[in-house]
Amino acid sequence: MIKTPVSSKFQTAAWPRPGVEEYVFSVRSSGGQPLGEGIKEFDWSLEVDSRHALVSAELFRSDADTPGQPIGLSRFAIDDQQLREFEALVIGSDLFGLHPAMSGHPGYTERVYTFVRAGRTSHQRINNSDEQTNAKVSQLRSKISSLLATSFDHPERAVRLGIEQHPGEFEVTITNIGTERICFTDPRWLAAVGPEHQAAVMITEFPPYEPGGPPPELNWRAIPLERMSKNPKEEQLVALESKGSWRASVPWTKPAHGRYLAYFTWANYQGQPMVDKVYRIRGRADSPRLVIE
């Protein structure tokens, strides 16, 4: 369940409402090693709450490291007809009557479904590699994907990474795209110890290739952000108001010849979920890819 309270700027629906049953449906997709308090390497959750007519989604890292995808918490209103249709879809899928063929299989990621309705709580766990079982709930999975994608257009406490090239340098940014104040570990404080704990520009040569032909082999190398001059031992946080941006320069001069591909990555799973009642961004995000001719 998503624990962060709803923003005071968000007006939830009145209750009770005719023709709407009270229920909460949630799904958490997670996998990999635990890297922070209550979160794993790949981790996102989605919740549909009929009482408040609300869809909430919390993303720490996407399943596919989608370039430019925000991380954090998003919320949007859903109308009563959609709530009834979603409830019917969950019940009609027989999700909680299934017996997954790969139950207990050590696959890399899995989904845990929870449905609280009419005083009863149901649970189901399905490995993401269990094609046979997932095919039986394909319509429900498709709807969940649609709701998750819609949530990205309604950020409440979320950030998006950016990158631009200027003469002799990259400019990298982390922007609060939500409506509430957020905080995160200062990228200049992070020591680069691996893809789950770093702040760096990733760059590779990117030679042209024919459409339909084999893509070029990409050999990524990291250009870490310059560390803080005093290198403080205590974690340094950046706090941003809504629409505020943090930015830094990363020196790089393009060679005289060649084509390159670059992106900015930030990753840190550590720390408490809230700092002085401010939501902390945790997980991993990548900027869009930047092609440099």
Q: How far is CA 116 from CA 25, 101, 179, in A?
A: 6, 24, 29
Q: Going by C-beta distance under 8 Å and a sequence separation of 6 or more, which residues neighbour residue 62?
A: 42, 44, 69, 71
Asked if residue 104 has pLDDT above 60, the reply is no
Residue 151 in contact with residue 55, Cβ under 8 Å?
Answer: yes
Q: Which two tokens mark 186?
A: 């200062």
More confident call, 149 vs 101: 149
* Residues with Cβ within 8 Å of residue 137, at least 6 apart in sequence: 93, 95, 98, 126
Q: How far is CA 224 from CA 8, 138, 200, 203, 228, in A?
A: 38, 41, 4, 11, 12
pLDDT of residue 107: 62
Q: Give the type of residue at 282.
A: R
Residues in the chain: 293
* Whether the Cβ atoms of residue 208 and residue 274 lie closer than 8 Å to each other: no
Top-level CATH class of 23-151? alpha beta
Percentage with pLDDT > 70 across the chain: 98
Tokens of 128: 């993401």
Fold entry, domain 159-292:
Immunoglobulin-like (2.60.40)
Quick one: average pLDDT of 192-204? 90
Confidence of residue 105 (pLDDT cuts 50, 70, 90): low
User: Cα–Cα distance between 21 and 13 in angstroms, integer?
Assistant: 13
* C-alpha span between 82 and 58 (Å, rounded): 21
The boundaries of every CATH 3.30.1560.10 domain in the chain are: 23-151
What is the signed CA dihedral for 268, 151, 63, 142, rounded to 10 degrees? 170
Yes or no: say if 125 and 132 are a contact pair by the CB < 8 Å rule: no
Token duo for residue 277: 């009642």
Kindly report the number of other CB atoms within 10 A of residue 164's CB atom. 13
- For 254, the 3-state DSSP assignment is coil
Q: What is the pLDDT of residues 116-140, one digit of tens each?
A: 999 999 999 999 989 999 999 999 9
Higher pLDDT, 256 or 155: 155
